[in-house]
Amino acid sequence: MTWGVSKSLASNGAILNLLIPVISAVLASLMLEERIMLLRVASLGIGLFGVVLMSIIDLNQA
């Protein structure tokens, strides 16, 4: 994460920082074999939608 932010633009770093909760939830499901429930999938979708909404200007420039 630190290497990616230091080698990239600030807008990409902001997108990566907004994705930290989503990435950690996905990794917990894969590595710790936590059960993936419908509520968790819905909350991950809302989180991804929120990242897109907050970074729409940055995504246009990337």
- Other CB atoms closer than 10 Å to residue 58's CB: what's the count? 16
Residue 58 near residue 12, CB atoms below 8 Å: yes
Q: Which pLDDT score is estimated for 58?
A: 67
Give the model confidence (pLDDT) of 8-50 as tens digits.
777 777 777 878 887 888 888 889 887 878 888 898 888 888 8
Alpha helices (H) along the chain: 2-6, 10-18, 20-31, 38-54, 56-61
**DSSP, res 32:** S
Domain count, the chain: 1
